[in-house]
Amino acid sequence: MTPLVLPDVALAPLLPIAITLLGAIAATLLGFFMPRRAITIVSMVALILAGVSMVTLWNGGLTSFGGSLQADNVALSLGLIIVLGSVMALLVSFDNASRARLAFPEFDAMLMYAVTGTLLIAFSGDLVTMLIGLEVMSLSGYVMATLQDSRRAEESGMKYFLLGAVGSAILIYGIALVYGATGTFSYVGIRDATAGLAVQNVGILVVGALMLLCGFGFKVALAPFHQWTPDVYGGSPTTVSLFLSTVVKVAAFAGMLRVFGGAMQNVPAWAGVLQILIVATIVIGNLGALFQTNFKRLMAYSAVAHTGFLALTLLGNPATGGPALTYYLLVYTLMTAGALAVVSALQRSEAAFSLDDMRGLFYRHPAYAVALAVCLASLAGLPPFAGFMGKYLAFQASFQAGYVGLTLIAAMGSVAALIYYLRPAMLMFMPDRTPAREFSGERTPTTAAVVLGVVGVTVLGILPNIAYGLVADPAIWTLLAGR
């Protein structure tokens, strides 16, 4: 008689995802008899509990479902960044939902389902789990982008859906080719099969890897797959733009780190193609931002440029590139969410600010003007703010891996970015006698998100080891790469 083999269903690694999913279900059901603000509080409590559960799992290295779900320190650190960005988005939505015409519980439910998908990606141990998380995240994101009753939101959401569907199709086909070449979906199995390229058809494997790179390129907005980004970030409600530009980007890079930093690190060709995409992304992102007059579209092109800087870390050795990517994603979340939170606090309509509207902001709202200036300085990579250290670590990882020319191009792109970051910063401190054009109502929760972003980029810039020291253990990243 064949002995009964019990499935590997450890509950502890599932806890952060399960708590978030329960929060999403609660937001769905409570919407029938609770006000929207109460549901937002319930959602934030669920996210905080999920974050606490991740802290308790630190250094545990637990897995579930035969390794399909991994609660290692890589997943936990990225998961905590996802929770942070999600909480900041909910804080902003607390005040902004009515003005953005999003004051209904379905928004919180969709956001929580999206967060569940992002955590699945970060915790994934194989390509199937990663794909499930990616689709849950993407489908929820499509709905969030179109929830606002306006033509701008509908157009941006439709563009996001169509291009996102193309990206997902390419990604799925790439997964099929990788499986055909290696016979496994597991990251560990793919890593072992490709260690000496001892696969029957290297050509299929390379094509699959390149298709995976293209599919992820849509999700993180690598050029030329970035076309949806300016329209979606600019046309969506600011809260949704904040979520898409931070939480979704973190999750997509978590998937790329798992696939290219671990499972397929030894597969040829993808690194060379990624170098070309990085150069195109940095050039197009910076050039696009130079000509923007709307602040949200400027931030969209800024997000494209930062995607190029973030992708540099994937070319580095996992022991240096992994911690650099994690630290940079944390800093990017804080400074981008902080800047968009200021916009959300002050804008009268979802069209947001034009740069001319920002003239003299310091004389009308000095605290918000200073906070936005800090976030912009950090995005530009100016010391002593954390954006400087994030870019430095990314450049260091690329340079030490031998990509000297690429690192120099990225550094020049970072210098060029000073032009479009300093322009709104200078306008805010110029005298202006015109009447105030900002929203004048209550915005305390949004202010809390702004303070969190500003304090975070300042403290992490002065004391980077508070975060970097936690993830810089080489043992974490050598295990990811199987060394």
Would you say residue 468 lies in a domain? Answer: yes
Nearest to 376 by CA among 412, 340, 334, 422: 422
- For residue 4, tell me if it sits in a domain: no
Q: Is residue 6 situated within a structural domain? A: no
Q: What is the pTM of this model?
A: 0.93
Which residue range(s) make up the domain with 388?
A: 12-481
Largest CA distance in the chain: 88
* Helix residue spans in 183-269 (DSSP H): 187-193, 202-220, 228-235, 238-243, 249-258
Question: Which DSSP helix (H) or strand (E) runs through 62?
Answer: strand 62-64
359 within some domain: yes
Say if 49 falls within a structural domain: yes
Domain-embedded: residue 458: yes
Q: Digits of tens for pLDDT over the chain (483 positions)?
A: 556 555 567 788 889 999 999 999 998 888 777 887 888 899 999 999 999 999 999 888 888 888 888 888 889 999 999 999 999 999 988 877 666 566 677 888 899 999 999 999 999 989 999 999 999 999 998 888 887 767 777 777 788 888 888 889 999 999 999 998 888 888 888 888 887 766 667 888 889 999 999 999 999 989 888 888 888 888 788 888 899 999 999 999 999 999 988 778 888 888 899 999 999 999 999 998 888 888 888 898 999 999 999 999 999 888 888 899 999 999 999 999 999 999 888 876 666 677 787 888 888 888 988 999 999 999 998 989 999 999 999 999 999 988 999 999 999 998 888 888 888 888 888 887 565 666 665 678 888 999 999 999 999 999 988 888 888 877 776 666 554
CA angle centred on 387, ends 385 and 392, rounded to 5°: 110
Helix (H, G, I), strand (E, B) or coil at 126: strand
Number of structural domains found in the chain = 1
Residue 95 lies in a domain: yes
Residue 106 lies in a domain: yes
